[in-house]
Amino acid sequence: MAIGSILFIIFLGAASFLFFRSVRKIRRNILLGRDVERTDNSSLRWKTTLRVALGQSKMVVRPVAGFLHILVYAGFVIINIEILEIVIDGVFGTHRIFSSWIGVDVYRFFINCFEILALLVLLACVVFLLRRNVVKIARFWNPEMKGWPTSDANLILIAEVLLMSAFLTMDAADVMLMQTSAETLASAGLDKYAINWSGSGFTVSSLLTGLLPTDIATLHIIERFCWWFHILGILAFLNYLAISKHLHIILAFPAVYFSNLKAKGEFDNLESVKNEVELMFDPSVDPYAAPPEPDENAVPVAFGAKDVKDLSWKQLMDSYTCTECGRCTSECPANQTGKLLSPRKIMMDTRDRLTELGNYIDKNGLEAEDDKTLINDYITPEELWACTSCNACTEACPINLDPLSIIVDLRRYLVMEQSAAPAELNNMFTNIENNGAPWQFAQADRLNWKDE
Amino acid sequence: MSDQIQVKTMAEMLANGEEPEVLFWVGCAGSFDDRAKKITRSFVSILNKIDIKFAVLGTEESCTGDPAKRAGNEFLFQMQAMSNIQVLNSYGVKKIVTTCPHCFNTLKNEYPGLGGDYEVMHHTQFLTGLMSDGRLKVEGGSFKGKRITFHDPCYLGRANNEYEAPRNLLAKLDSELVEMKRCKTKGLCCGAGGAQMFKEAEKGNKEVNIERTEDALEVKPDIIATGCPFCNTMMTDGVKNFEKEGSIKIFDLAELIAEAQTN
């Protein structure tokens, strides 16, 4: 076996192993969340996934970004068919193995399609970079984007530009080699490039041939460099996903599938509260009865969420899925009027806190608890109290993520566990308790409007 | 208001052996807020004129618990919900109409899980139904040529996907419906939801209702139509802030329809 093949198999194996390890860790972290039922109505779930995730229906609400995103997305999905060939070539030391299976003309048709897509992806990524860094679209410059989130976005876009450039340059050099006579190739020891190529090169890469040298030894070096750069780049990118917002390319699909299908206005009725309230309303319960023996294994129920473990696995999955596009924040009435609340920051904080807790668990065991919490250490009450629960964020999210449910769960903790609602809201609660209305009016006056 | 309106409570109906066609859930704003009470009376006057047999709970009605729930007080919400459900179920209520989208959302979506299953309608849906049944007739008349813009309440629109019922009603007024740049799914909140109505806003550089009023002013309306008593308050305050209360009126759809009703 050639040294190239052995190296390739080592790299492929190592990248797959590392990626698999990251996936397991992310899965473990997501499952730290409490359970929530999201498997009902599978036909509607599949339809929603086809429409929203695969069909990008909510992306195109903003047509420019939506259109460019569809280019990159289609390019990503389709060009990756090419990876299969690269892997086979890499393992067996072959050269463009598919061309010998399907014939040069059909092969050329497919590569032409890939190249056109690659060019469109490259252009779209350049436009995306310009939108972020030159046009400075406001939603990419909110405070929570400072530092790593901005670098993360730029790194992803630059990586895609480089990968697509390598792909096109490789094709250009390769076609020049393949168009060289078999004898010349054989004398240079490059027999496998002699694949009886006839006719033109590929649509896009043939525009680059003028820029390349004609000497076949140099061409071979360029072709090999680009080939290795492209595939190692992809393997590195795969592992980069685990620490990047770019994980959405995988998680967007399950996140949409398991998304909330109910009316957006419906907030869940907390079961733990329901049990208590039902007891209070049950006339057969003896209020003076001795409490039952406490179950030693029972986990004390907390009302609402103080930390990521109190959120559901779906909310945690959402946090890993968010790609920080900021459409939620740009539609948020609180954010637009200068309040601290940013729904995107809620998602980012949840992920950051979950990552932190996950790392702590790695060192100290699954039951270990550090002394930090999502609330206060990451998200302040001031942010939470600015929310109008208007659902603009959930409507704006292209993949149905739900920052609002996290906000409400954190509010529940503040109110029910800490009695830490703003004073005016405590007054409102008292009014409802005492006279059945959020204001101080007597219940007996409730029908006075009829005679006024 | 001088118009005499007829309102019976469920208790009165039951005592007379009558059963209403629908229960009108008035809501706290509709019961106590001076501006919202006018909306309540307008809606009742529509029903009275076409002899819709309805009832209210009167003093047996209590807050649905919506503001408590949005603020995070799930206990208080469920206490309110359970006791309301006991009252509603004891009267065998099946159909509810309400002029408040917050009550509408809570009754429709959150009560079923606690044992309260009813057919719940927002008044704009109910009135649309009455019109298509031919029971309610309106004529544009005084609204002809007026520019009306509709502010979508979050808890009717995004929360429950109802954008058409209020617009259907406006279309019957022969007025010119002018949409704000942010409308329907993209409609901007008035700033009152999520229990914000009952507290000062957090520190920022603007009030949400001012931002929303600017949207409305841009389309130069004669009337801003609303379908929620809280939106009504916020938009009224916003228009006053711009000193436009002389030229722009804020009306609930119930008031507009009451004005245009011909039967």
B2: pLDDT strictly greater than 70:
no
Domain boundary among B95, B110, B131: B131
Would you call B68 an interface residue with chain A, using a CB distance cutoff of 8 Å? Answer: yes
Would residue B193 count as lying in a domain? yes
- When CB atoms are compared, the residue of B68, B206, B211 closest to A429 is B68
Taking the CB of residue A127, how many other CB atoms lie within 10 A of it?
Answer: 16
| CB contact (8 A) between residue A395 and residue B186 | yes
Domain boundary among B131, B154, B175: B131
Give the best residue of B10, B198, B206 to mutate against chain A (max A CB count within 10 A): B198
Would you call B37 an interface residue with chain A, using a CB distance cutoff of 8 Å? Answer: yes
A324 and A153 Cβ atoms separated by less than 8 Å: yes
Would you call B11 an interface residue with chain A, using a CB distance cutoff of 8 Å? Answer: no
The pLDDT mean for chain B works out to: 96
Distance CA B71, CA B193 (A): 10
Instruction: Compute the radius of gyration of chain A from its Cα atoms.
Output: 29
Locate the chain B residue with the closest alpha carbon to A431: B63
pLDDT for res B1 = 45
Distance CA B210, CA A293 (A): 57
Distance, CA of A376 to chain centre: 25
| CB contact (8 A) between residue B59 and residue A443 | yes
Segment B32-61 shows an average pLDDT of: 97
Closest to B213 measured CA to CA, from A337, A341, A139 = A337
pLDDT for res A1 = 63
User: B202 and B242: one domain?
Assistant: yes
Read off the pLDDT of residues B163-172 as tens digits, 9 standing for 90 and up: 999 999 999 9
CA end-to-end span of chain A, whole Å? Answer: 96
- When CB atoms are compared, the residue of A266, A337, A414 closest to B207 is A337
Distance CA B11, CA A402 (A): 42
User: B151 and B125: one domain?
Assistant: no
Instruction: Please list the ranges in chain A whose pLDDT falls under 50.
Output: none
Give the best residue of B73, B196, B234 to mutate against chain A (max A CB count within 10 A): B73
Read off the pLDDT of residues A72-84 as tens digits, 9 standing for 90 and up: 999 988 888 888 9
In the stretch 114-153 of chain B, residues with CB closer than 8 A to chain A read 114
Provide the domain limits for residue B102. 10-131
Read off the pLDDT of residues B3-44 as tens digits, 9 standing for 90 and up: 689 999 999 999 999 999 999 999 999 999 999 999 999 999
CATH of the domain at B109: 3.40.50
- When CB atoms are compared, the residue of B73, B114, B161 closest to A429 is B73
User: B104 and B48: one domain?
Assistant: yes
B77: pLDDT strictly greater than 80:
yes
pLDDT for res B3 = 64
CATH class of A271-280+301-440: mainly alpha
- The number of distinct structural domains making up chain B is 2
| CB contact (8 A) between residue A427 and residue B198 | yes
Give the best residue of A339, A341, A384, A389 to mutate against chain B (max B CB count within 10 A): A389
| CB contact (8 A) between residue B110 and residue A266 | yes
pLDDT for res A219 = 94
User: B169 and B239: one domain?
Assistant: yes
| CB contact (8 A) between residue B9 and residue A447 | yes
Closest to B86 measured CA to CA, from A280, A445, A447 = A280
| CB contact (8 A) between residue B62 and residue A437 | yes
User: B223 and B194: one domain?
Assistant: yes
Would you call B17 an interface residue with chain A, using a CB distance cutoff of 8 Å? Answer: no
Relative orientation angle of helices A3-30 and A81-92, to the nearest 10 degrees: 130
Distance CA A350, CA A375 (A): 10
User: B106 and B20: one domain?
Assistant: yes
E strand or H helix that includes residue B147: strand B147-150
pLDDT for res A328 = 98
Backbone angles phi, psi at A196, to 5 degrees: 55, 45
Distance CA A60, CA A138 (A): 19
Domain boundary among B97, B131, B165: B131
Would you call B87 an interface residue with chain A, using a CB distance cutoff of 8 Å? Answer: no
Would residue B2 count as lying in a domain? no
Would you call B41 an interface residue with chain A, using a CB distance cutoff of 8 Å? Answer: yes
B141: pLDDT strictly greater than 70:
yes
User: B25 and B107: one domain?
Assistant: yes
B182: pLDDT strictly greater than 50:
yes
User: B36 and B64: one domain?
Assistant: yes
B253: pLDDT strictly greater than 80:
yes
Would residue B3 count as lying in a domain? no
| CB contact (8 A) between residue B78 and residue A274 | yes
Would you call B154 an interface residue with chain A, using a CB distance cutoff of 8 Å? Answer: yes
Q: B66 to chain A, minimum CA–CA distance in Å?
A: 10
DSSP A289: S
Would you call B28 an interface residue with chain A, using a CB distance cutoff of 8 Å? Answer: yes
User: B168 and B115: one domain?
Assistant: no
Backbone angles phi, psi at A34, to 5 degrees: -75, 165
User: B107 and B174: one domain?
Assistant: no
User: B115 and B15: one domain?
Assistant: yes
Confidence band (pLDDT; 50, 70, 90) for B110?
A: very high
pLDDT for res A2 = 84
Alpha helix stretches (DSSP H) within A179-311: 182-187, 216-240, 248-257, 271-281
Q: A391 to chain B, minimum CA–CA distance in Å?
A: 7
CB neighbour class for B7 (10 Å; exposed up to 12, middle 13-18, buried from 19): buried
3-state secondary structure of B9: strand
pLDDT for res A300 = 65
3-state secondary structure of B150: strand
- When CB atoms are compared, the residue of A337, A411, A437 closest to B206 is A337
Would residue B53 count as lying in a domain? yes
A-B CB pairs within 8 A amount to 217
What length does chain B have?
263
Interface confidence (ipTM) of the complex: 0.96
Would you call A363 an interface residue with chain B, using a CB distance cutoff of 8 Å? Answer: no
Segment B115-120 shows an average pLDDT of: 97
